[in-house]
Amino acid sequence: MAPENKRLRIAIIGGGLAGAILVNALMKYPHIDVHIYESAPKFSERGAAVGLAKNSQNALDEIGHSVKDALVRAGAVPMNSTRGTVASGPNAGQIIFDLVADVPPRGVHRAAFLKQLLAPVPKEVMHNNKKLVKVEDAGDGGVVLFFKDGSEEYADLLVGADGVHGHVREHILGADHPALEPTFAGFWDCRTLLPLSKAKEVLGEEYFKEHRRYIWSGDGGMFMHDVLDNGTMVQCVASKVTDEDWDPKEWKRDLDREALENAFASWTNSPIVKNMIELLLQNPELQAFAQWDHHVDAPTFHRGRVCMVGDAAHAMTPYHGAGAGQAIEDVMILETLLGEVKKPSQLDAAVKAYDEVRRPRAQLVVQSSNSTGRIMCGQGPDVGLDVDKLRAALGSRWDFLHEFNQKEHKKRALRSFRKN
């Protein structure tokens, strides 16, 4: 047990982007003793890139230099604009929108970002091969963590950053809660990273004259490509709406040329299909990943001295490009509150304030992302692939997300903390 005048012991479960940003953020507080536990043999990120828009970058600025610098060191590329184009049907070739942001979104390779985030973290606070299997109240307000290898740790506060398939959500909500499991969102996607020269050769030079993200909307699906790694690599993504059932245990399926061609066979007037399929197949291990989200809202993000951040709290589809950004906002609020907590007895008010401020916004993004995906894939009700209707439906769809005052968000959290 930590006496009232000792450093606060904070345990983070999960070494993905949410956990890595949080450990970085908390290291700056001398009154906090933070440790991070990852179930995998090493801290690593799979998958291609994440795009961090204005709200995410502003939240990184609020957290501090060490995390914002990590983004730059990881070779994040600012995108001058995001261009959406209809790519199937009678309106094929017409531009839906060309969004130019005052703070350009930055695309970053996940593995590179994680590596840079973890570079300044002392080895003695990073623990790998530590799978959390049980949490119990310690009897003094704190918690005891039980790991698969038989070891135990005490913490004044446990933060679950253990992703969509982690354990902490179950501890908070209970094993039978209807919001516990993520729901299959009705889409799959596949992704490939390849050198810029190859993407230019197949798609054409004109798409790479400036750093722009391209989105191609068609019949029940979409393609996306953007540039990362200091402009040397290109990420290609295909997303598809599907009526098929995916078993909750089935995260991915093998994908070959035939399956990919069949998925986009209904697109008409569309040269982009052939070229994107060509690029996607450059990945010899191409797989379709099911998209899951927490469609049923959790009634709380905390229970006692245990709370959750990132995908553990609010897994979402990628159509707002916002999952990591919402994790960054979670971290910004939580670290602001924990910076104010000087003794364990204040932690309850801090996690309550965190929940009050973060849950409504993050859950709104989860719901909005799913319906945005339907629209981008040509399946918006009364929208379809009509370019004018797509323009009306998508043009301002990201405003609530990106034009968000992070300083005010922090102030609200602090007000709530002081009143709790």
Ligand X SMILES: Cc1cc2nc3c(=O)[nH]c(=O)nc-3n(C[C@H](O)[C@H](O)[C@H](O)COP(=O)(O)OP(=O)(O)OC[C@H]3O[C@@H](n4cnc5c(N)ncnc54)[C@H](O)[C@@H]3O)c2cc1C
- State which of residues 51, 104, 186, 380 lies at the interface with ligand X (CB under 6 A): 51
CB within 8 Å of 6: residues ≥ 6 apart: none
Return the structure tokens found at 267.
């697109």
Q: Which stretch binds ligand X (CB under 6 A): 129-137, 243-251, 275-283, 408-416?
A: 129-137
Chain Cα centroid distance, residue 142:
29
Contact flag: residue 84 with ligand X (CB under 6 A): no
Q: Does the active-site annotation cover 359?
A: no
| Distance between CA atoms of residues 198 and 204, nearest Å | 10
Q: Which stretch binds ligand X (CB under 6 A): 23-31, 136-144, 156-164, 276-284?
A: 156-164
Contact flag: residue 322 with ligand X (CB under 6 A): yes
Closest CA to 323 of 164, 193, 168, 190: 164
| Distance between CA atoms of residues 226 and 79, nearest Å | 8
Taking the complex as a whole, the smallest distance from the CB of residue 161 to ligand X amounts, in Å, to 5
Return the structure tokens found at 335.
């670290």
Return the structure tokens found at 193.
């990273």
| Distance between CA atoms of residues 189 and 311, nearest Å | 18
CB closer to ligand X out of 14 and 218:
14
Cα dihedral 215, 221, 223, 224 sign: positive
- The SS3 call for residue 348 is helix
Contact flag: residue 365 with ligand X (CB under 6 A): no
Return the structure tokens found at 3.
């006496």
Contact flag: residue 17 with ligand X (CB under 6 A): yes
How is 154-172 classified by DSSP, letter by letter? EESEEEE---TT-SHHHHH
CB within 8 Å of 381: residues ≥ 6 apart: none
Taking the complex as a whole, the smallest distance from the CB of residue 48 to ligand X amounts, in Å, to 7
In this structure, the strands spanning 32-37 and 106-109 are unpaired
Contact flag: residue 323 with ligand X (CB under 6 A): yes
| Distance between CA atoms of residues 57 and 83, nearest Å | 20
- State which of residues 2, 10, 11, 50 lies at the interface with ligand X (CB under 6 A): 50
Q: Please pick, among 169, 191, 374, 397, the residue that the annotation labels catalytic.
A: 191
CB closer to ligand X out of 38 and 62:
38
Contact flag: residue 167 with ligand X (CB under 6 A): yes
Q: Which stretch binds ligand X (CB under 6 A): 161-169, 193-201, 257-265, 388-396?
A: 161-169
Contact flag: residue 356 with ligand X (CB under 6 A): no
CB closer to ligand X out of 194 and 349:
194
Contact flag: residue 182 with ligand X (CB under 6 A): no
Contact flag: residue 321 with ligand X (CB under 6 A): yes
Taking the complex as a whole, the smallest distance from the CB of residue 418 to ligand X amounts, in Å, to 28
Inter-residue contact 161 to 13 (CB < 8 Å):
yes
Contact flag: residue 161 with ligand X (CB under 6 A): yes
Active site residues per annotation: 191
Residues at the site binding ligand X, with contacts judged by CB under 6 A:
13-19, 37-40, 50-51, 130-132, 161-163, 166-167, 189, 310-311, 318, 321-325, 327
